[in-house]
Amino acid sequence: MTRFSLSDRFDPKDPLAVFVFQKGQQLFWDGAAKNCPPAVLQTAKEDGYRGKPGGSFIVRPPEGKPAQRLLLLSAGERDELRPPVFRLLGATAAKRASDVGMKTLNVRLPKASGPLEKNIEAFVEGFLLGSYRYLRHKSSPDKTVMPDEIVFLVPEKRRVSLDAAISQGALYAEMTNYARDLINEPPSLKTPEMLSQKASELAGDRIKVEIFKKDVLAKRGMFALLGVNRGSAHPPALVHLRYVPAGKPKARLALVGKGITFDSGGLSLKASGGMKTMKCDMSGAAAVFAVFHALRRLQPRLEVHGITPLTENMPDGNAYKPGDVLRAANGKTIEVLNTDAEGRLVLADALSFAADLKPDAIVDVATLTGAATVALGKAYTALMSNNDVMTEKIRRASEKSGEKIWRLPLEPSYKEHLHSAVADLKNIGNEGEAGTIIGGLFLQEFVGQTPWVHLDIAATAWTNKATPMAPAGATGVMARTLLRYILAEGGAGR
């Protein structure tokens, strides 16, 4: 893994990153690019460099000054230079440095309106997110070579606070990449039993882990989760992680993450194309695990519970069927009309469990509805909530993480979509109408009066094409947002 260091000088034999800004058709750099001859930029333009935001270019300046190689990083408009831009620039630097095999890269960040600490944190976060590769099952060695070291050029007096910023940025990226590893793992290698074992490894440092197996789930009345599991050869589990701070907690939070380790659709079988990425249907659980992976080190003054229902959704002679009625842990009955709307069923039991803990707030994160992609495309996570204050807090956290969200209404009149003639609820609404909102309204039936936010990550948990901060595959979305939300609520104990 690339290490990050701080210094006030560098070896000109090593590449130097220089940030290029754009104003109209004009390209320029500011005073942070010390001793860079103006002719360098003109030479780069003549060789095809256009300064497109997020772009990069390598140039060798005359006489090797200020360094033998310069990595030009296109930063866009000077007035828009904020942490999200630095995060993108970090990811761009990672890719370009890897492409040409740089061992060391010196970076002098340009001046910006915000604190240098936040900008370095974002650059480190972006660099490590952009460096991520999932290579566990490759039979031949990876030819990708990341730099051994990034050296930030800063005055000595700033190093203490900047060291902390580097550590924070690295932690955000590390937890996201931890979630990505879980999601990218082949589904036969991450059964409910295996994911439960992963959860057990998070115990310690004020974290306790309890795993409820099939017999206990039945005693607790979790027949919605058990119903979804009936077609699987692997028994289900519900994981309860609990972090308790050393002193009196400021508040109690429950995080609930959907953990369908593979979703075939059950008897309402998906088309083969729709199954290709269904190993990602436990992305909500992965985000919750990732948060606890970080809590071990940060130890905020907040009591945090993590609840993840784990099962496959498979077709089998014993599988649950359209027309079945399942009873959830809070006693409500559900008519199943589509076995591919299974996520809300397992969450019904998990949210009921969370509500029984009497937390101050609940946040659930789930790959719930394909309709979220229809409504918002691939850029936004859909948010629904019964509480405006919580919504604003999550919105602020997502803005800091660069993970976009958009709030959809829990329209009361749409509740009639869930009316069943034979049970309290049915698990789908009218075909082609407000599918994501109907999913949110269904989940709302299981949180009681607890302030609650639902994050539907069906559109954002997986990308079929590489982005600057993620290769094709799992994105680890919402892990960083949830952690920033927790730190804003409870601070860090360390």
Per-residue pLDDT, 2: 93
How does pLDDT run across 197-210, given as a tens digit for each residue? 999 999 998 999 99
State both tokens at 125: 């976060």
Show the tokens assigned to 375.
Answer: 């409504």
Helices 283-298 and 192-200: crossing angle in degrees, nearest 10, is: 10
Query: Which range (26-40, 54-68, 239-253, 315-329) has the least confidence?
Result: 26-40
β-strand pairing of 26-28 with 56-59 = unpaired
Sign of the four-CA dihedral 113, 115, 119, 120: positive
- The answer to whether 241 and 209 are in contact (CB under 8 A) is yes
Tell me: pLDDT of 34 over 60.
yes
Most confident of 37-51, 96-110, 447-461: 447-461
Q: What separation in angstroms does the CA of 293 have from each of 166, 192, 243, 297?
A: 18, 19, 11, 8
Task: Please confirm, yes or no, whether 270 is among the known catalytic residues.
Answer: yes
CA 349 to CA 223: how far, in whole Å? 8
CATH code given to domain 185-490 = 3.40.630.10
At residue 1, the pLDDT reads 84
Tell the burial category of 323 from Cβ atoms under 10 Å away from its Cβ (0-12, 13-18, 19+). exposed
What sections of 112-158 are H helices per DSSP?
Answer: 116-131
pLDDT of 380: 98
In the set 69, 214, 270, 332, the catalytic residue is 270
> Which of 79, 158, 152 is CA-nearest to residue 122?
152
pLDDT digits (tens, 9 = 90+) for 112-133: 888 999 999 999 999 999 999 9
Delimiting residues of CATH 3.40.220.10 domain(s) in the chain:
3-173
pLDDT at residue 142 greater than cutoff 80: no
**Residue scoring higher pLDDT (47 or 189):** 189
400-403 — which CB contacts under 8 Å span 24+ positions? 400/83, 400/484, 401/172, 401/480, 401/481, 401/484, 402/83, 402/84, 402/87, 403/460, 403/477, 403/478, 403/480, 403/481
Reduce the DSSP state of residue 240 to 3 states and report it.
strand
Q: How far apart are the first and last CA of the chain?
A: 24
Q: According to the model, what pLDDT value does residue 170 have?
A: 97
Burial of 64 (0-12, 13-18, 19+ CB in 10 A): exposed
Angstrom distance (rounded) from CA 16 to CA 58: 10
Tell me what pLDDT residue 494 has: 53
Give percent of the chain with pLDDT exceeding 90. Answer: 85
pLDDT tens, position by position, 232-279? 999 999 999 999 999 999 999 999 999 999 999 999 999 999 999 999
Q: Percent of the chain beyond pLDDT 70?
A: 99
- 344 included as an active-site residue: yes
- pLDDT confidence band for 29 (50 / 70 / 90): confident
Average pLDDT over the chain, rounded to an integer: 94
HSE (CB half, 13 Å, CA atoms) of 85?
22
**For 225-257, b where at least 16 C-beta lie within 10 A, e where not — what string?**
bbbbbbbbebbbbbbbbbbebeeebeeebbbbb
Evaluate whether the domain defined by 3-173 bears CATH number 3.40.50.2300: no
**Within the chain, how many helices (H) and strands (E) appear?**
14, 21
Instruction: Write out the two tokens for 302.
Output: 């907040």
Count CA atoms closer than 13 A to 235's CA, side-chain side.
12
What average pLDDT does this structure show over 11-22? 92
Going by DSSP bridges, is the β-strand pair 3-7/149-153 parallel, antiparallel, or unpaired?
parallel
pLDDT tens, residue by residue, 393-423: 999 999 999 999 999 999 999 999 999 999 9
pLDDT tens by residue, 324-351: 999 999 999 999 999 999 999 999 999 9
> Nearest to residue 93, comparing CAs of 168, 50, 151, 48?
151
pLDDT in tens, 276-292: 999 999 999 999 999 99
Length of the chain: 494
Active-site residue (options: 344, 400, 426, 484): 344
Indicate if the pLDDT at residue 373 is higher than 80: yes
pLDDT of residue 493: 57
Amino acid, res. 285 = A
